Structure 1
């Protein structure tokens, strides 16, 4: 996130890391990176860690987030070198520690950088990502790994229609978000109906489900002297392999991957509807017009733009 969390400061993050992971942790520097979680660089005793604070509900429970990070660690321990695995807490052996309404996790600090979208589409890089995902999809599922489930249910469109029927007064961008969502009611209803039919189809083929990262796009890739690493494993779940294919297909890898078109459509809708649901919650709640708020509004507009003119 671009903006610091209002409910916890850098000193509290450094203290939590010292308590649970790095005894010598003395300094936490906030990193305005990504969107959806908060991040810090924490240092001490010659060691640097990358620290993430994930929010839980409605996306996760404490158990499912722990299972995702424990699963990533198990994949790395089984030999998947492209996994940047979380580190277990010294105090408990768990990979997450509750902090307020969220959960803290840490990974080693990677010296490298995320590729740009253009770099991520270069043939050599695409082959590395394809190989990493192929290895992930062949891997034995870690114990306790959650199964993918639909992000929205049958009542989603109707509930959204009811929520957007009256003006929102929760912040400076609330009405822009509400009117945009309300104007796309027919498309959201159509998308939801199709999505749930495809989800039912996917569930009849569970024998084909594999471990999937969920969001292996360029921002969750880091390249350095060690090669390619995939980061941010909080979405790890058993699912059809097409859950991981969106960016590869956009770059022209369909002939190599041979995806099921129905499952490609399912996960395009999975992303779109989960984003719309998240942004609806965001702007119906109090907000002040921060950079994150404006980024979220642009994200909402982008998802709604998928409707036919």
Structure 2
């Protein structure tokens, strides 16, 4: 997130880092990175040491599910998947209303949006991940309820005078209600089909924003909170979008399932966001752009 979390100070984060991971940490610095979680750099005397993440808890993540995902990623790394950057024990700790975790600080840059995609490298890493035998990890289930679109209708009946983006967000959603109903019905039909497919360990979001290029040129995958058993197409959208479906031979129905999941989950979260009070922060601007993109893209 771009802004610091309300009610959390750097001193709070530093105290937790010292208690659970790095007793001689000398300071933390909030990093305006990513979207959905908050991040800090934790420094030791010698310099940056840890990358700290504060995840929110709720329908998407519980303390238990995050622990299972992070511990599962650590097991995959220990089993020889060197591209897995896993969190450090005790993996995740309760922190206010959320959950705090850390990974080693990486000196390389994020591959990032707009970078040259390496579909061959991505496909090779994902083949190894999908062929691995994990320990206990979370199991995928649909993120958006079957009644999402119908339950949204009454919430749109009254004006959203909730902040600068409320009226425009409401109008955009009203204009796509019929499509939302069709997308939701298709999503749950395909989710039922998924039960008849092979399920493997999947990262969930192995796109370039979750890839870091190390000084030696190797690319590693970070952000394993969404590690789940699922059809492998959950991880394949980027490779297919790069025009290299030949590298992964995807199941078209499962690709559609997870494309719909991304769209509907984003729209669902942004609908809650803009139906609630907001002030027009940088994060609000990013969220509104994300809502319009998911409503309007092909």
1:180 is matched with which residue? 172
Label 1:87 to 1:283 Cα distance change in 2 as closer, same or farther (>3 A). same
SS in 2 for 1:269: helix
Query: Does structure 2 retain, via aligned residues, the 8 Å contact 1:114–1:221?
Result: yes
Quote the offset at 1:265 in angstroms: 0.3
Q: Summarize the alignment of residues 210-289 of structure 1 with structure 2, pairs less than 5 Å apart.
A: 210-226=200-216, 227-289=218-280
Residue 201 (structure 1) aligned with residue 193 (structure 2):
yes
- TM-score normalised per structure 1: 0.93
1:15 is matched with which residue? 15
Query: Does structure 1 retain, via aligned residues, the 8 Å contact 2:25–2:42?
Result: yes
Residue 44 (structure 1) aligned with residue 44 (structure 2):
yes
From 97, 104, 108, give the equivalent of 1:108. Answer: 104
Following superposition, which runs of at least 4 residues in structure 1 exceed 6 angstroms of deviation? none
Aligned-partner Cα distance in 1 for 2:186–2:206: 24
RMSD across aligned C-alpha pairs, in angstroms?
Answer: 1.2
Aligned-partner Cα distance in 2 for 1:114–1:298: 22
Aligned-partner Cα distance in 2 for 1:201–1:234: 25
Query: Does structure 2 retain, via aligned residues, the 8 Å contact 1:242–1:259?
Result: yes
Quote the offset at 1:163 in angstroms: 0.9
2:143 is matched with which residue? 151
Label 1:306 to 1:119 Cα distance change in 2 as closer, same or farther (>3 A). closer
Quote the offset at 1:306 in angstroms: 2.7
Label 1:151 to 1:224 Cα distance change in 2 as closer, same or farther (>3 A). same
Aligned-partner Cα distance in 2 for 1:117–1:286: 30
Aligned-partner Cα distance in 1 for 2:115–2:148: 37
Aligned-partner Cα distance in 1 for 2:88–2:31: 19
2:292 is matched with which residue? 301
1:91 is matched with which residue? none
Larger CA deviation: 263-272 vs 157-166: 157-166
Unaligned runs of 5+ in 2: none
1:129 is matched with which residue? 122
Q: Summarize the alignment of residues 165-176 of structure 1 with structure 2, pairs less than 5 Å apart.
A: 165-176=157-168
Aligned-partner Cα distance in 1 for 2:270–2:211: 25
SS in 1 for 2:141: coil
SS in 2 for 1:119: coil
- TM-score normalised per structure 2: 0.97
Unaligned runs of 5+ in 1: 89-93
1:97 is matched with which residue? 93
SS in 1 for 2:119: helix
Residue by residue, what CA displacement relative to the aligned partner does 1:232-274 show, whole Å, maximum 9, x if unpaired?
A: 0011000000000111111111112110000000000010000
2:54 is matched with which residue? 53
Q: How many residues align?
A: 296
SS in 2 for 1:172: coil
Quote the offset at 1:159 in angstroms: 0.7
Aligned-partner Cα distance in 2 for 1:186–1:104: 39
Aligned-partner Cα distance in 2 for 1:287–1:272: 22
Quote the offset at 1:182 in angstroms: 1.2
Aligned-partner Cα distance in 2 for 1:7–1:65: 22
